[in-house]
Amino acid sequence: MTRTPITFVCSCEDTMPLDARAIARGCAGGAPRLAEQLCQSQLDRFLAALAEDVPVTVACTAQAPLFAEVAEDAGFARALNFVNVRETAGWSAEAKAAGPKMAALIAAAAVPMPATPLVPLKSEGITLILGRDEVALRAAERLAGALDVTVLLDGSAPVAPLRAAEFPVVRGRARAATGWLGTFEVVVDGHAMPRPSSRTAYEWGPKRDGAVSRCDVLLDLTGGAPLFPAAEVRQGYLRADPADAAAVERAIGAAKDLVGEFDKPRFITFDAGLCAHSRNKRVACTRCLDLCPTGAITPGRDSVMISAEICAGCGACAAVCPTGAASYALPASDNLLRRLRALLLTYREAGGEAPVVLVHDAEHGEALIDALARHGSGLPARVLPLRVNEVSQLDLAFFLAGFAWGAAQIRLLLRGRRAHGVEGVLRNLGFTAEILSGLAVPEHGAPRAGTIETDDPFTLGEALAALPRRGLPFPPATFLAIGTPREMLRQAGRALAEGMSRREAVLPMPALAPFGLAKVDVNGCTLCLACTMVCPTAAFTANPETPQLRFLEDACVQCGLCATTCPEQVITLEPRLNLAPEAARMQVVKEEAPFCCERCAKPFGVKSQIDRVTAKLTESGHWMFRDPKQLALLRLCEDCRPFAATDAALDPYAGPDRPIAKTTEDWLREAERAKRAKRDAT
């Protein structure tokens, strides 16, 4: 009995050809087990495989619920995986050439993806309905039986009072709102209670500003501007135009479901210790703050703060974070890169050439691919689809590693109307183009990395078919997907440089690129080492044995903290990608011999520091250092300084002579003397 995993590949009633020899390249257990109708007449084969007690992969997602149910009934405890080869490969005009592609898809699906941590949310159904007219009251009447409802009317239109006060109705305008499902807080101006005597329309009592309302669910039927950025993805905030009856019905139905305990994925893993946002009240990197569409990221003291409850998972912060402080967790970057590596290398091993990686999401991308397979010519045989949670999550390491592993082109499938948060991944596409151009990688009429922005499956098919069939002019690298995204980026960049025979390449990059040189004007540097204390990646370091400033270019993320902190303002940033081996070696920027104490010869500081401080104190005429003996103390170490001050009878706290205090009588006496002197003079 074999102990290797089993892979089933079904031809779906012979609607797609199967190249068993090519497909075997992607199967960990060797040759796949072929079938024609595995979900029905040949289901006994699947049951027999379950009895072998080894992991099973079924190359079918359409009948995945059936296979999962059968496995559960059989008490199967091993891994059961599914991969779609029908709509992505078999139902295609080029299906006969899709064997390598099927092998690649099966191999990629076998790469394990760890579970994503969850964020708990709790709602007790306390609902605030914002409205302007009777639509808000009718919605409240529909929800009152299921939720604890309060209606806030903005007072812009007359509203007939309810015959019975089944729920509170108040007046006011929501000025601001914060929070998420279960923890909303709304600031209301013009808050007023209705008069009990209201007859044909609500009449309101005294108004007050700054009232605060707390609720679990917000239903906005005002028809005005939303209270939150990217409001459609704010958990618990429902919004509909009161003039659109269908939209109001959908919002009411959604509100009824927002009671209880919920879990949402923790999309971002954040390490505050790596964040380069600020140090010592000096702000530097704001890449994630500038791009977050939901307001989930806010400035903190030394780092940004990311609200997992507000985060909608676009991944823009992870795509542009230069240090890896913010990284995507659905899945983690290293797991996604392992899947990409398996996809590309298996495709090449199975005989495929010039692969195109098509990155897509589930909601938009899978629907287009399915429609193209069912009603069009399907995906070309060399197009390898790779599903991710959000296309906007991709960092620069993904693109460089993809080309290093043999991708001829990479295309991102985006909606015709761009969604929130794609600016970061588009920036990475620009960086990728700069790097490939700098390495002289030929394009053959089309960019190697780009987007396909469409909601039409046939437009998608035409765009993919038009891509040039030219791979990279060197064999793919095979390095493993191990390490942080930045380590992977460097490894992939050097693999590309090796392939193009540009091992010493130093490529200029545009602003905001996450790597480069921090240049120091050594003539102005005093080795104060302030830059080493704020650098979040240890690109600048000090030598504990001698006065020395060192720089590691591979570690520099161009955050700018060193430049903003340097008291002499002698550090400037130069974005570039240095692929030469020297970039991975520590370079000495400046060093000086230590200054020795003039009393005990103990080394402390450096001569330039002592001279600079002495000159500044002399120029300023500081009262504590007008005596040369006091200035001489600066040339002594911390051990000798107090003894020298004692020997010279110097009081370190002594100030300049204070003026003699004068009373009123003194002033009058002096005035009288002045008058006499003037009289005598005349």
Looking at the chain, the whole-number percentage of residues with pLDDT higher than 70 is 98
Q: Give the domain extent around 75.
A: 6-82
pLDDT at 554 over 90: yes
564 near 284, Cβ under 8 Å?
yes
Query: Is 424 a domain residue?
Result: yes
Residue 555 tokens read as 């570690």
Q: Residue 342 — φ and ψ, nearest 5°?
A: -60, -40
Q: Are residues 478 and 346 in the same domain?
A: yes
> What pLDDT was estimated at residue 623?
61
Q: Are residues 404 and 431 in the same domain?
A: yes
Instruction: Encode pLDDT of 525-552 as tens digits.
Output: 988 899 999 999 999 999 988 889 999 9
Closest CA to 34 of 57, 14, 12, 10: 10
217 near 207, Cβ under 8 Å?
no
pLDDT at 258 over 60: yes
Q: Are residues 455 and 367 in the same domain?
A: yes
Query: Is 284 a domain residue?
Result: yes
On whether the pTM is more than 0.75, the answer is yes
Domain count across the chain: 6
Domain-ending residue, one of 237, 264, 291: 264
What is the C-alpha separation between 591 and 15, in angstroms, rounded? 73
What is the C-alpha separation between 195 and 204, in angstroms, rounded? 5
Across 193-199, average pLDDT: 94
> What pLDDT was estimated at residue 505?
92
Across 235-259, average pLDDT: 97
Q: Are residues 368 and 463 in the same domain?
A: yes
Closest CA to 476 of 592, 340, 591: 340
Query: Is 674 a domain residue?
Result: no
Strands 282-283 and 278-279: antiparallel
Q: Are residues 233 and 273 in the same domain?
A: no
> What pLDDT was estimated at residue 436?
97
Q: Are residues 353 and 491 in the same domain?
A: yes
355 near 408, Cβ under 8 Å?
yes
Q: Are residues 275 and 344 in the same domain?
A: no
What is the C-alpha separation between 394 and 320, in angstroms, rounded? 9
Chain centroid to CA 112: 23
Q: Are residues 471 and 362 in the same domain?
A: yes
99 near 85, Cβ under 8 Å?
no
pLDDT at 1 over 50: no
Q: Domain containing 321 — which CATH number?
A: 3.30.70.20
Q: Are residues 478 and 354 in the same domain?
A: yes
Instruction: Encode pLDDT of 463-512 as tens digits.
Output: 999 999 999 999 999 999 998 899 999 999 999 999 999 999 999 999 99
Query: Is 656 a domain residue?
Result: no
- The per-residue pLDDT of the chain, averaged, comes to 93
Choice among 210-214, 285-289, 643-647, 661-665 with the minimum mean pLDDT = 643-647
β-bridge partners, 184: 215
Q: Are residues 346 and 479 in the same domain?
A: yes
Domain-ending residue, one of 235, 264, 293: 264
Query: Is 33 a domain residue?
Result: yes
Query: Is 339 a domain residue?
Result: yes
Q: Are residues 369 and 487 in the same domain?
A: yes
Query: Is 668 a domain residue?
Result: no
Q: Are residues 313 and 193 in the same domain?
A: no
Domain-ending residue, one of 82, 97, 130: 82
Query: Is 601 a domain residue?
Result: yes
